[in-house]
Amino acid sequence: MSDTLQDEGGTSSRSNSLKISLPTVLCTDGESDIPTTPDTFVTSESKLSLPSSFGTPTSPFRISSPISLPTSPKPFTKDFQTRSNMSLDEPSQPTSENQINSMSKPLDTGSATGNPRNKCALQPGHSLMDWIRLGNSGKDLAGTGGRMRPVTPAELSTHNTLKDAWLAIRGRVYNITHYLPYHPGGPEELMRGAGIDATELFDKVHPWVNYDSLLAKCLVGPLRFDRPDAEELFDITNPSPKSDRLREPSKAQELVRKSMENLANCITPVRKKITAKSEENVKSSPPSKIMQSLIQSSDLPVSISRRAGSSPVKSVDKSKDSPSPLRFDWIQTSTKLTISIYTSPLVNPGGSARIANGVLFVEVATNGWLRTIKLIPEEELTEPLQLRVFSESGKIEVIALKATSKVWKNVGETTYGAAVPISSPRSVECRVMHVERVSHDTTLLALCPATGPVIVPLGHHVRVHHKVDDKECVRSYTPVGDSWDHFGSDLSALKLTVKRYDAGALSPHLAELKAGDTVTLSGPYGNFQLRKLKQVKTVYLIAAGTGITPMLGLLKFMLVRSNPRCERVHLLFFNKTEDDILFKENLDEISEQDERLNTIHILSNPSPSWTGVEGRIKSEILSKVITKDSVSTEKQHFACVCGPTEFTHTAVDLLKTLGVREDDIHAFIG
């Protein structure tokens, strides 16, 4: 949220106490009210990717597969049975029907790899490079929020539509939904494998294709072939005589048998489980020669990610509230090292990463505790580092560049520091990297912390400090994630939305900042608890003016989360005029692509041509989406409010009148 909320004529608000008292103002310019007591928490900004394709890759080039072919290519035969339950005529997603039509035309030129078979013309922006770029964009291609989980054949079989397609190869289940328009053989061909164990089909067509690298980011988890659902195996609902059922293996039994065969034939190298010799050291087995040459010949991620180690319990304070041990694993390409650190689901971690004297330090903050992981890498790592958090699973990912392009045998030596309570927020000097206008009076600043990337937990904010006439001015801002601007994805920047108030002491200065200038930030602050959304399926986001900023991260989180899947996000966005609506294009685009987002713009002073809702916050407007009935039927709901103080008070009172419990409301104040 930005953070100076005067549009609706009030003073700004932030914090979630429902009893709102005006906090001490460190610098009075009418911009915002800043509470003086900092919360004990460290940093973060959720970088969840949108379901919509902001920043869709646009490269028109089609690059031939990097995959090595056998010297004598196999002839292609279309001798597989077509799956009758496959619905290619289903309503399409961003990529779908029209693309399928245009993509399924075979090219006369034959395969770029020398294979006599026909490939399909891919849409511009769907080359191999575009696919790799999408994989590196941070988008959750597996749709699992960054966490792997086992999948039963029964569950697999339900993911068989263009909008939601999974397939299994050699005991691993991949979400291929996003890959469909990138598949050189066309989406229809790929859909033949959707919902099933497609190993045999895949091997018949192109056994040489390096699917596990191409789909590394789409991995959902192992196919749990050893524990099929009893109903599936014995088809309880099928009234056929028992003897028949015994003779004819059911579809699920067939799936299980195939999966076991495939697993036995699995060519993916099995690696030893890594056990740390001492509590500090984490070593791993080297990649095979084949794997090494594969990694070196391309910059595709390789499937050598593994559980590398976990923080020893003994180094952690064992008091009642101390955090559970951290676990981490790693994956490499020839140029990059990615370290994944696992906290707990919905713990909403913050953190930071930096390289000092060749050592990589990662700080992880959860529930008032700070833990540091120190990695002395096997070889030199260089900046810039990238850091992102998957809020649903609590996974933190650090991406570092290798100084020399090479495959490492081990990750290096890892040490876990003891958990220490966080006593105060940190300050950090930041360089302005980009400045972008987002409305007539509002600017978006991309700030790069000097020490390395920082993550502010979802729903938390930072403060900008600046001296004006020797008086320190402080203002609060909630960073917005990527994809709300045109800077492109930058996982090392904090992006703040600054509204200019001409009579303000700080905002005119911030609005004048240029690339290369510096500002001091402190944080993080806030008491938003993500775990309150654990079972929530419907959220009401009520924002005024720059109060939209905390809502942006939340709405992305809700739309991306998978367990439980969110059913509805209602965003009621109050502004004065059409020109004041921030991020309107982005919000419209998301609403268009994801019907679960219902955005209602409400203007208090619209132009005569405005056909939308008019007015200020009142019961009649809120009851467009929230009624006593809906609140009692949609039990798993939650409401968030952010705007000027008066607006926030009114919204909270109205919500309560409409039957929303105080426990199910969070007001951002501060």
* 206 sits near ligand HEM (criterion: CB under 6 A): yes
Smallest distance from the beta carbon of 165 to ligand HEM, in angstroms?
10
Smallest distance from the beta carbon of 108 to ligand HEM, in angstroms?
13
When the beta carbons of 128 and 316 are compared against ligand HEM, the nearer one is: 128
When the beta carbons of 85 and 357 are compared against ligand HEM, the nearer one is: 85
| Residues 520-550 as b or e (16 or more Cβ within 10 Å = b) | ebbbbbbbbbbebbeebbbbbbbbbbbbbbb
Q: Identify the residue among 41, 54, 166, 211 touching ligand HEM (CB under 6 A).
A: 211
Alpha-carbon distances of 412 from 92, 138, 281, 375, 391, rounded to whole Å: 46, 25, 8, 7, 27
When the beta carbons of 208 and 234 are compared against ligand HEM, the nearer one is: 208
* 371 sits near ligand HEM (criterion: CB under 6 A): no
* 65 sits near ligand HEM (criterion: CB under 6 A): yes
Smallest distance from the beta carbon of 80 to ligand HEM, in angstroms?
7
Smallest distance from the beta carbon of 82 to ligand HEM, in angstroms?
10
Smallest distance from the beta carbon of 199 to ligand HEM, in angstroms?
8
Smallest distance from the beta carbon of 215 to ligand HEM, in angstroms?
5
Please state, as a whole number, how many other Cβ atoms lie within 10 Å of the Cβ of residue 298.
17
Smallest distance from the beta carbon of 180 to ligand HEM, in angstroms?
10
Smallest distance from the beta carbon of 627 to ligand HEM, in angstroms?
47
* 214 sits near ligand HEM (criterion: CB under 6 A): yes
Smallest distance from the beta carbon of 73 to ligand HEM, in angstroms?
8
Q: Please provide the DSSP assignment of 322-352 as one string.
A: PPPPPEEEEEE-SSEEEEEEE--TT---EEE
When the beta carbons of 122 and 541 are compared against ligand HEM, the nearer one is: 122
When the beta carbons of 85 and 609 are compared against ligand HEM, the nearer one is: 85
Smallest distance from the beta carbon of 405 to ligand HEM, in angstroms?
23
29: helix, coil or strand?
A: coil
Site for ligand HEM in 552-581 (CB under 6 A): none
Site for ligand HEM in 415-474 (CB under 6 A): none
When the beta carbons of 81 and 319 are compared against ligand HEM, the nearer one is: 81
Site for ligand HEM in 76-115 (CB under 6 A): 76, 111, 113, 115
Q: Identify the residue among 192, 217, 463, 601 touching ligand HEM (CB under 6 A).
A: 192
Smallest distance from the beta carbon of 184 to ligand HEM, in angstroms?
4
* 406 sits near ligand HEM (criterion: CB under 6 A): no
Tokens 């003994």, residue located: 314
* 131 sits near ligand HEM (criterion: CB under 6 A): no
Smallest distance from the beta carbon of 53 to ligand HEM, in angstroms?
19
Closest residue to ligand HEM, judged by C-beta, is 185
- Cβ atoms of residues 331 and 299 within 8 Å: no
Strand partners, 442: 439, 499
Smallest distance from the beta carbon of 299 to ligand HEM, in angstroms?
16
Site residue total, ligand HEM (CB under 6 A)? 25
Which residues neighbour 509 within 8 Å (Cβ) at sequence distance 6 or greater?
A: 466, 468
Q: Rounded to whole angstroms, how far apart are CA atoms 450 and 455?
A: 14
Q: Rounded to whole angstroms, how far apart are CA atoms 56 and 126?
A: 9
* 173 sits near ligand HEM (criterion: CB under 6 A): no
* 202 sits near ligand HEM (criterion: CB under 6 A): yes
Q: Rounded to whole angstroms, how far apart are CA atoms 568 and 360?
A: 41
Smallest distance from the beta carbon of 249 to ligand HEM, in angstroms?
22
* 205 sits near ligand HEM (criterion: CB under 6 A): yes
β-pairing, 369-377 with 420-421? antiparallel
Alpha-carbon distances of 463 from 4, 5, 34, 109, 370, rounded to whole Å: 12, 15, 9, 59, 20
- Cβ atoms of residues 120 and 103 within 8 Å: yes
Q: Rounded to whole angstroms, how far apart are CA atoms 438 and 498?
A: 9
* 258 sits near ligand HEM (criterion: CB under 6 A): no
- Cβ atoms of residues 652 and 644 within 8 Å: no
Taking CB under 6 A as the binding criterion, the range among 199-207, 230-238, 537-545, 659-667 that sits at the site for ligand HEM is 199-207
Smallest distance from the beta carbon of 204 to ligand HEM, in angstroms?
8
* 159 sits near ligand HEM (criterion: CB under 6 A): no
* 180 sits near ligand HEM (criterion: CB under 6 A): no
* 364 sits near ligand HEM (criterion: CB under 6 A): no
* 183 sits near ligand HEM (criterion: CB under 6 A): yes
Q: Rounded to whole angstroms, how far apart are CA atoms 327 and 339?
A: 10
Number of residues that this document lists for the chain: 670
* 351 sits near ligand HEM (criterion: CB under 6 A): no
User: Mind spelling out the 3-state secondary structure of 221-254?
Assistant: EEECCCCCCHHHHHCCCCCCCHHHHHHCCCHHHH
Q: Identify the residue among 143, 181, 193, 345 touching ligand HEM (CB under 6 A).
A: 193
Q: Rounded to whole angstroms, how far apart are CA atoms 93 and 83?
A: 21
Please list the helix, strand and coil fractions of the chain in percent, rounded to the nearest 5, in that order.
Answer: 20, 25, 50
* 117 sits near ligand HEM (criterion: CB under 6 A): yes
Q: Rounded to whole angstroms, how far apart are CA atoms 371 and 369?
A: 7
* 301 sits near ligand HEM (criterion: CB under 6 A): no
When the beta carbons of 192 and 224 are compared against ligand HEM, the nearer one is: 192
- The H helix count followed by the E strand count for the chain is 16, 27
* 209 sits near ligand HEM (criterion: CB under 6 A): yes
* 262 sits near ligand HEM (criterion: CB under 6 A): no
Which residues neighbour 139 within 8 Å (Cβ) at sequence distance 6 or greater?
A: 49, 50, 178
Alpha-carbon distances of 65 from 128, 185, 289, 521, 531, rounded to whole Å: 7, 12, 21, 46, 43
Alpha-carbon distances of 544 from 9, 27, 64, 511, 604, rounded to whole Å: 10, 23, 49, 20, 11
* 365 sits near ligand HEM (criterion: CB under 6 A): no
Nearest CA to 262 out of 175, 194, 203 is that of 203
443: helix, coil or strand?
A: strand
When the beta carbons of 214 and 464 are compared against ligand HEM, the nearer one is: 214
* 190 sits near ligand HEM (criterion: CB under 6 A): yes
* 259 sits near ligand HEM (criterion: CB under 6 A): no
* 8 sits near ligand HEM (criterion: CB under 6 A): no
Smallest distance from the beta carbon of 128 to ligand HEM, in angstroms?
7
Nearest CA to 122 out of 139, 104, 108 is that of 104
Alpha-carbon distances of 181 from 61, 85, 102, 212, rounded to whole Å: 14, 20, 10, 18
Smallest distance from the beta carbon of 145 to ligand HEM, in angstroms?
22
Q: Identify the residue among 5, 180, 201, 341 touching ligand HEM (CB under 6 A).
A: 201
Q: Identify the residue among 181, 185, 195, 479 touching ligand HEM (CB under 6 A).
A: 185
Q: Please provide the DSSP assignment of 89-138 as one string.
A: TSPP-TT-HHHHHHHTSBPTT--TTS-SSPPBPPPTT-SHHHHHHHHHTT
List contacts with ligand HEM (CB under 6 A): 65, 67, 76, 111, 113, 115, 117, 119, 179, 183-185, 189-190, 192-193, 198, 201-202, 205-206, 209, 211, 214-215
